[in-house]
Structure 1
Amino acid sequence: MKVLIVSHSRDPYCPDLVAAALKARGAEPIRLNTDQYPTSVRLNLAPSSAAERSELLTGPAGERFSLDELGAIYFRRLALARNLPDEMPKPHKEAVYHECYAVLQGMLACSDAFQLDPFERVYQADNKPLQLKLARQLGMTVPETLTSNDPEAVRAFYHRFDGDIVAKPLRALTIRDDDVTRVMYTNRVREEHLRQLDSLANGPMTFQQYIPKALELRITVVGERLFCGAVDSQRGDKSRVDWRRDGAGLREEWRPYPVPEEMRRRILRLMDALQLNYGALDLIVTPAGEWVFLEINPAGEFVWMQTATGFPIADALAETLLGQAARRDARRVASPA
């Protein structure tokens, strides 16, 4: 079986591990580095033609593959039009990017191959307010949350929890300025921050009830399989509010952690609701032993978790792609009669 891996050239670890697992099972992985489209990668998309076939030309030797021959697609990342000529005007680059986005979206939508996961499901599932709503409806505990650009509403939210709240972006936020990269982590909100809330007029922010932590969990779901790792983020001040601040220091500290059967059922029901085969969930275990759902990343990283715990996540992905393990395969569009 041919399996298309959709990512980019600066994503070396996850795709390589999955490709190796696919090869070990007799499959043929094909790498599509989307940052090389349209400059190096060639794509011929012919969805309405009976005479022409849709095909992809990729790889160092310009290997040619028919998209109709694909048995599965592993969708990880899009990073389109990254190698356009420097002299091309910025408005033209933006136009090319949007056209490439539409073409890749069309290619994925037209494929009859099993996809882990379909493009539109991944982007819909990345909606954090929707995740929290569904998780609450499925019986999970979630933190009280307010996303707002209204200073008065935020002040009221702050006082409602006696100042015990955090601020965070809805989406991972990285700002690059003069070759300096700044990542916005989750931060505690202090009294002095209330005087700065007028800046919300320039951009909304998400505020959340602060949840005390005994452990932080990362649960990677592949099909019907759950791989749960736990870390004690409270052992140091740097990682106390957001473990990612000391991600490198905690990398080797993650350990396997059992998932109660009721929580397992709720997580799988959430995956059913989002129609995902893959997701990386972040949860908190409180000092009282309560499990609190924070979010799910439908294209989250797994290599550091596999390395620390020995979980066979790449193998599980390969088996799901090849139909050797249980998977969700509901069709997005009904086949014509």
Structure 2
Amino acid sequence: MGHRSGSVLVLTTSSDVTADAVLRVLAERRVPVVRLDPGTDLHAGASLTATYSVDGQRGTLRTSSRELDLTAVRSVWVRRPSPYEGPPGLDGQDRRFAASQTFWGAGGILASLPGAHYVNHPRHNREAEYKPAQLAAAQQCGFHVPHTLITNDADEAREFATRHVGGTVYKPVWNTPYSVDGKARAVWVREVRSQEINNAVTACPHMFQARIPKAYDTRVTAVGDRLFGIRIDSPDVDWRYRQDRMRCHPIGIPSSVAETVTRYLATFRLTFGAFDFAVTADGTWHFLECNPNGQWAWQPAGTTHRIAVAIADQLERGHDQ
């Protein structure tokens, strides 16, 4: 396999077991890897420096164990780094100021390494995370997209729910951290009736979607031109709600779906994407969403390993593909 030399830079937390699956593959291949969580490590002894001049761009990352020439990075895997929240020893506006400067400064350096192959580039991740952009791109690429309403108008929402006699579901447009009495809570996809919709909708945009009479769900994990499909059987509208009651196994991906997945990735310039579909009894795959940085290590062991190998292949090859 041809590839460029240099280290792979992995941006993620120290406890990310999903990243560990890929790092084990790279270690077996003796590919040098530097792991960094910039939101925390840069406040715990790591340092990042970049210079820009007529002689070009240079940069150095120093950690407790490594010194990395940023011009020699072959690939960057933007996995799950911590948010930029500033040094824990600062409070109030000083911490907010430091967090903002770190995001735009360190984040900007790490997003503009010369010659590096990004999986995915953080800018492309962000563009692809907007639910309205996902739905628009899915329609343009040729996916079957459920009738969807995003609104902060309660009357519009009630009319939408009334009109869809097959049922309506509510989905958050972003997975915002939420807690009740200090305990983290998740906002799941759930069915909603028109009489349940009140003027609280006016506080922010809400997403409502015609419920698909699905026979089962599918997840398609795309890594470059390699696609990995699984069928998910769950008694819940949102299979993530009770994963202990979910069953999944590998499934073939129709060629028409595979071709549309490829067009969608190209639209957002993504190397990786985790696609969710609802499949009806007639075999139609209905697009629900694509998480450009979705989790995948929960899938059957064989599928998980093949995805890890595919990501390792991307990172090892860098831009020489």
TM-score scaled by length of structure 2: 0.91
Determine whether 1:321 maps to 2:315. yes
Distance 2:107 2:23 in 1: 22
Whether the aligned pair in 2 keeps the contact of 1:213 and 1:285 (CA below 8 Å) is yes
Corresponding residue of 1:299: 293
Determine whether 1:189 maps to 2:192. yes
Report the CA distance shift for 1:176/1:326 in structure 2 as closer, same or farther (over 3 A): farther
Determine whether 1:174 maps to 2:177. yes
Corresponding residue of 2:253: 259
What do the CA deviations read for 1:126-169 (whole angstroms, capped 9, x no partner)?
11111111111222101111110011111221122137111111
Runs of 4+ in 1 over 6 A off after TM superposition: 324-327
Whether the aligned pair in 2 keeps the contact of 1:163 and 1:189 (CA below 8 Å) is no
Report the CA distance shift for 1:49/1:180 in structure 2 as closer, same or farther (over 3 A): farther
- Greater relative contact order (CA < 8 Å, ≥ 6 in sequence): 2
Which one of the candidate residues 62, 67, 70 is aligned to 1:64?
Answer: 67
Corresponding residue of 1:230: 231
Corresponding residue of 2:211: 210
What do the CA deviations read for 1:228-267 (whole angstroms, capped 9, x no partner)?
011111xx3xx2x1111112332xx210000011111111
Distance 1:162 1:138 in 2: 28
Corresponding residue of 2:59: 54
RMSD: 2.1
Q: What's the CA shift for 1:326?
A: 9.3
Distance 1:324 1:62 in 2: 24
Whether the aligned pair in 2 keeps the contact of 1:39 and 1:81 (CA below 8 Å) is no
Whether the aligned pair in 2 keeps the contact of 1:319 and 1:325 (CA below 8 Å) is no
Q: What's the CA shift for 1:324?
A: 8.1
Whether the aligned pair in 2 keeps the contact of 1:218 and 1:228 (CA below 8 Å) is yes
Determine whether 1:14 maps to 2:15. no
Whether the aligned pair in 2 keeps the contact of 1:81 and 1:100 (CA below 8 Å) is yes
What do the CA deviations read for 1:62-91 (whole angstroms, capped 9, x no partner)?
4211111111111112324557234x2222
Determine whether 1:244 maps to 2:240. yes
Q: Which runs of 5+ in 2 are unaligned?
A: 1-5
Whether the aligned pair in 1 keeps the contact of 2:248 and 2:300 (CA below 8 Å) is no
Corresponding residue of 2:148: 145
Distance 1:262 1:148 in 2: 32
Whether the aligned pair in 2 keeps the contact of 1:9 and 1:35 (CA below 8 Å) is no
Corresponding residue of 1:31: 35
Report the CA distance shift for 1:73/1:166 in structure 2 as closer, same or farther (over 3 A): same
Corresponding residue of 1:102: 104
TM-score scaled by length of structure 1: 0.87
| Partner-residue secondary structure (3-state), 1:184 | coil
| Partner-residue secondary structure (3-state), 1:5 | strand
- Worse-matched range after superposition: 32-41 or 281-290: 32-41
Distance 1:256 1:216 in 2: 12
Distance 1:153 1:94 in 2: 37
Whether the aligned pair in 2 keeps the contact of 1:46 and 1:53 (CA below 8 Å) is yes
Whether the aligned pair in 1 keeps the contact of 2:74 and 2:319 (CA below 8 Å) is no
| Partner-residue secondary structure (3-state), 2:218 | strand
Corresponding residue of 2:3: none
Corresponding residue of 1:335: none
Number of aligned positions between the proteins? 314
Instruction: Please tell me the residue identity of whatever aligns with 1:287.
Output: A
Determine whether 1:3 maps to 2:8. yes
Distance 2:173 2:254 in 1: 28
Instruction: Please tell me the residue identity of whatever aligns with 2:226.
Output: R
Report the CA distance shift for 1:272/1:313 in structure 2 as closer, same or farther (over 3 A): same
Distance 1:100 1:33 in 2: 12
Identity %: 29
Report the CA distance shift for 1:132/1:326 in structure 2 as closer, same or farther (over 3 A): farther
Q: What's the CA shift for 1:110?
A: 2.4
Q: Which runs of 5+ in 1 are unaligned?
A: 328-337
| Partner-residue secondary structure (3-state), 1:54 | strand
